[in-house]
A and B are shown apart, each in its own frame.
Chain A
Amino acid sequence: MSKLILVVHVSLDGFVAGQRGELDGFEAGEENLQFVCSLTEEADTTLFGRISYQLLNDNWPTARNRPNATKGEIAYSNWYNNAKKIVISKTVAKENSNNTTIVSENILEEIIKIKERAEKNILIFGSPTVSQLLMQHNLIDSYWIFVNPIMFGKGIPLFTDLSNKIKLKLVTTKQFSNGEVALNYLTERE
């Protein structure tokens, strides 16, 4: 069965964005993007909440066509266009173009079905609300958490108001030249 993997940037103090949703301070960079492309090679589906979908979908479908596009941008853009895109939203209009499916009800059941059907892994980018829902239902198998060398001080937390804490198992870490550290964890299941 495919694995559901959360890929997310956080500040040192555990925020996925500043108070107004701004991402200032997260510098992805080419090295980081090429690394993410090593994760996308193993995945054929991507899943988002509405806001993350809109952010990514504004950029990635056409990023490969820009004259100054980097190797990583072209690779990621190609993957994005080919991947099955699942958007969890009650408000985004139904859209069948560009391999995109909108899921607005029976979210957990639908995701379990998608997970069973997918041949390769499923990546969730950002999407704190959806991630939290999936995590609480024990559906996330693995995490790549990119810890950025910045303290936001306040903002949108990665996770909030959980009823139980969750233990993870550290698999590996990767350090980037911009000071980012990516921590890879598996969900510990008993």
Chain B
Amino acid sequence: MRKLIFAINVTIDGYADHTSGIVDDELHGYFTEFLRNVDIEIFGHDTYNLMYPYWHDVAMNQSETEVTNEFARTFDSIPKIVFSTTLKSVEWNNTTLLRSNLQEEIVKLKQQSSKGISIGSISIASQLTQLGLIDEYHFVVHPIIAGRGKRLFEKLENSSQLELIETQKLRSGVVALHYKKI
């Protein structure tokens, strides 16, 4: 069985605005480690556009710091699935575009035996949380009160209790909280 894992940067008040965080080498290092345990990345339309071509270009041009370049290479090389009804095509290497049946496809993937499956999209993570399919969560909490913006979860039907596995403090004041489903 593969594990389905959601890793996300959030502010201490629960906003998931990607422009609010403290992005540094240590954070990229954390996510590189995270990606070593993953061999599929799931995106929606918005996350795909956020990540591509930016990270692909960094991977190709090695234009950032060594740690960030390593993150880009790792990220770029992982097979990706994009769920979207509006994207016409996808150009990123190793990327498959799927139109529908999110639940069915995820259940099928989870039955394979391999590394983890990472979800990069908040709306997909919300749907899969609702379905009880996510096994682990990494909430990477930034020392910022955003006070507005896109919330981490907006309309889950039910609350879900988790179990804390470990915490990790980064020098920037970011605290990574790692949980599993009970």
The yes or no answer to A154 lying at the interface (CB within 8 A) is yes
Given the known interface contacts A167-B143, A183-B175, A185-B143, the answer about A162 and B148 at a Cβ–Cβ threshold of 8 Å is yes
Query: A149: which B residues are within 8 A, CB to CB?
Result: 161-164, 179
Which single residue of chain A is at the shortest CB-CB distance from B166? A175
Which of A10-18, A28-36, A98-106 lies at the interface with chain B?
Answer: A10-18
Which of B11-19, B46-54, B86-94 lies at the interface with chain A?
Answer: B11-19
Cβ A154 vs Cβ B156 within 8 A: yes
Given the known interface contacts A160-B147, A164-B147, A165-B20, the answer about A14 and B162 at a Cβ–Cβ threshold of 8 Å is no
Cβ A154 vs Cβ B143 within 8 A: no
Cβ A181 vs Cβ B164 within 8 A: yes
The yes or no answer to B118 lying at the interface (CB within 8 A) is no
Query: A25: which B residues are within 8 A, CB to CB?
Result: 159, 161
CA–CA, A86 and B10, complex, Å: 33
Could you tell me the distance in whole angstroms from the C-beta of A116 to the nearest C-beta in chain B? 25
The yes or no answer to B153 lying at the interface (CB within 8 A) is yes
The yes or no answer to A170 lying at the interface (CB within 8 A) is yes
Which single residue of chain A is at the shortest CB-CB distance from B12? A145
The yes or no answer to A157 lying at the interface (CB within 8 A) is yes
Could you tell me the distance in whole angstroms from the C-beta of B9 to the nearest C-beta in chain A? 13
Given the known interface contacts A170-B169, A170-B175, A181-B164, the answer about A151 and B153 at a Cβ–Cβ threshold of 8 Å is yes
Kindly supply a per-residue 1/0 record for chain B positions 67-101, scoring 1 wherever the CB is within 8 Å of any chain A CB and 0 otherwise: 00000000000000000000000000000000000
Which single residue of chain B is at the shortest CB-CB distance from A167? B144
CA–CA, A7 and B159, complex, Å: 22
Query: A13: which B residues are within 8 A, CB to CB?
Result: 10, 14, 151-153
The yes or no answer to B105 lying at the interface (CB within 8 A) is no
The yes or no answer to A166 lying at the interface (CB within 8 A) is yes
The yes or no answer to A168 lying at the interface (CB within 8 A) is yes
Cβ A152 vs Cβ B159 within 8 A: yes
The yes or no answer to B29 lying at the interface (CB within 8 A) is no
Cβ B148 vs Cβ A161 within 8 A: yes
Cβ B175 vs Cβ A153 within 8 A: no
The yes or no answer to A150 lying at the interface (CB within 8 A) is yes
Cβ B175 vs Cβ A181 within 8 A: yes
A interface list, Cβ under 8 A from B: 10-15, 18, 24-25, 135, 143, 145, 147, 149-154, 157-170, 173, 175, 179-181, 183, 185
Give 28 CB contacts A-B under 8 Å. Answer: A10-B13, A11-B14, A13-B152, A14-B10, A18-B159, A147-B141, A147-B177, A149-B161, A151-B129, A153-B129, A153-B158, A154-B156, A157-B14, A158-B12, A158-B14, A161-B147, A161-B148, A162-B145, A163-B147, A166-B147, A168-B143, A168-B173, A173-B169, A173-B175, A180-B164, A181-B177, A183-B12, A185-B173
